[in-house]
Chain A
């Protein structure tokens, strides 16, 4: 799977896990901040993203706080998945 495919797949997972209503992968911009003003995610969403990484890519993040750096944007998430996926 190449980077573009992974990026689209990740966006689809995020839409599903976070139930982002009326959003498609095309609506999520790769370098847009996921938290705060960008996509507007919050602390419960970051826990959900930790679960997403574990269930879909076999990546365990033990302290959810470590997640915030990884979840800065789609780009940082994709980088992290490529480097650490076990599935």
Chain B
């Protein structure tokens, strides 16, 4: 599967004027998105959209200009429109199940993102939303791979979106997933405490079977449910054997001491000269970070510019061509992606 175009709205300068060198610092350990002006969304439609829907539609629209009309929209989002969900919940309780306004309910469903993308672009093709927590986006990618096998001349918009809302932030916080001590950037990786930092964002891609016009091929994807680091590294070995050499490893390590063993067990089986990169200081932690990691990988390969703050080591001595992404947020769901530079 080839990636033709990509777009990303995140807590960093990844949309519009892209600036990968500057790192926005988390506030109270939360990295909130920098929302653009959403020029392409009519005000009448924008007024109803919750944040997740805005992020999804906002990142998708630049990819859908001109003659680009994909054959479908495939989205992964673990939580969908959480803030709208909470607003509706509040109405239920505060008005004691009396007469309530429906917009929050309609906008809260996770499929509202894909639905609104379809609606604003009059796309009557395939439309689906995967919500499988930390593997929602990965399932969306796999779904795209399958649809492209069945429809050889098609192209699809595939993306991942998740928002930080007061509700899911609170639940995750109560459940111990965020650090208590302040994090300002790459110091995230030096900590030996539990938890990470919260993040949110949206990354969208146009994918197809054509090599022309593409810089990046998705060679393979594998998903895993396990709490055993040895099983993860065993599966990774098999995955690498299947997809060949990689010269970079983009790691989803997130500073959570409980999860580090998974990342260590994977790094330990890699050749030492493979360049190790990390990104969660840039994106924060949320269920759809693999989507942002994929956007970063595409950007790195296309520009061959990788700011220092992403690099764990060793130093980069030659152009990077093949990137392996490994991500787990909570040590229960894991994914590997093998990506390869398309030589023209």
Query: Which A residues fall within an 8 A CB radius of B?
Result: 17-22, 40, 44, 47-48, 50-51, 54-55, 60
B contacts with A: majority SS: loop
B344 CB-CB contact with A under 8 Å: no
Interface residue? B103 (CB, 8 A): yes
Interface size of B by Cβ–Cβ distance < 8 Å?
12
Q: B101 contacts A51, CB within 8 Å?
A: yes
Task: Check B102–A21 contact: CB distance below 8 A.
Answer: no
Evaluate contact between A51 and B99: CB separation under 8 angstroms. yes
Chain B residues whose C-beta falls within 8 Å of the C-beta of A20 in the assembled complex: 43, 47
Chain B residue with the shortest CB-CB distance to A40: B44
Distance from A26 Cβ to chain B, minimum over Cβ atoms (Å)? 16
Chain A residues near B102: list those with CB within 8 A: 44, 47-48
In the complex, besides A54-B99, A60-B99, 7 extra interface pairs with C-beta distance below 8 angstroms are A19-B47, A19-B103, A20-B43, A44-B102, A47-B101, A50-B99, A51-B100
Q: Nearest chain A CB to B42's CB is how many angstroms away? A: 9
A-B contact count (CB 8 A): 29
22 A-B interface contacts by CB (under 8 A): A17-B101, A18-B47, A19-B47, A19-B103, A20-B47, A21-B47, A22-B43, A40-B44, A44-B48, A44-B102, A44-B103, A44-B106, A47-B101, A47-B102, A48-B101, A48-B102, A48-B103, A51-B99, A51-B101, A54-B99, A55-B95, A60-B99
Chain B contacts of A21 at CB under 8 A? 43, 46-47
Binding site for A on B (CB under 8 A): 43-44, 46-48, 95, 99-103, 106
Task: Report how far A18 CA is from B100 CA in the complex, Å.
Answer: 13
Closest 7 CB pairs of A and B: A19-B47, A51-B101, A48-B101, A21-B47, A21-B43, A51-B99, A40-B44
Q: How distant is the Cα of A72 from the Cα of B100 in the complex, in angstroms? A: 22
CB nearest neighbor in A for B106:
A44
| Shortest distance between the CB of B35 and any CB in chain A (Å) | 13
List the A side residues contacting B101 at CB < 8 Å: 17, 47-48, 51
| Chain B residues with CB below 8 A from A51, complex form | 99-101
Is there an interface contact between A19 and B99, defined as CB atoms closer than 8 Å?
Answer: no
**By CB atoms of chain A within 10 A, which of B48, B95, B100, B101 has the most?**
B101
Contacts of A60 in B (CB 8 A): 99
Question: In the bound complex, how far is the Cα of B281 from the Cα of A72, in angstroms?
Answer: 53
Q: Residue of B at shortest CB range from A20?
A: B47
A55 to B44, CA, bound (A): 24
The reply to whether A19 and B48 contact each other, CB–CB distance below 8 Å, is yes
Distance in Å from the Cβ of B58 to the closest Cβ of chain A?
Answer: 14
